[in-house]
Amino acid sequence: MDGAFEEAAVRLAKFIASHGMTLVFGGSNVGTMKAVADAALAAGGKVVGVFTTNLPMSLAHPGLTELVVTHSLAERKREMIERADALVALPGGLGTLDELFDALALRRVKNGGHKKPVGVLNVNGYYDPLIDFLIQTRDKGFSTNAAVQTLVSGRTPEELFDRLVGSLPPVC
């Protein structure tokens, strides 16, 4: 894996912690999830992991502020969405894409959905093909411009959060 992805995860975690936000994530102690949790904790941030019994408990991060255990992946996604104020996907694989698309789809649902901003940290253009694909769904008549604009993108944590929620106060 390109080291830029882990560096971006660490930068995002430090940004979140420095602004007094709580990191809510999948609860794992491997890969990018471990890097983002460890960095947020090291920066003095609060970190909530939402783990599922569908995975071996040996993969759960042991040092979190709070660990929530759900009985299914669907419950895990619901719990993460409920606890978050904004939803951000780092570069990742199928699990990340599943969570991202679930968050986007639920953002469009009037009853039973959510109204939280959804974004991607677009490290080194990782999400450019996905954004192009979403634009294609609009251009081919399968989606609307409003649906495409539901996904916010930023290349740095600062840019992403500015687009998601507006300018945050400077870190003291």
Architecture of domain 3-159: 3-Layer(aba) Sandwich (3.40)
Q: Each residue of 63-115: pLDDT tens digit? A: 999 999 999 999 999 999 999 989 999 999 999 999 999 999 998 887 778 88
Q: Give residues with Cβ within 8 angstroms of 148, minimum separation 6.
A: 134, 135, 137, 138
pTM as predicted: 0.89
Domain ranges of the chain: 3-159
What was the pLDDT predicted at 111? 78
Cα separation of 52 and 61, whole Å? Answer: 12
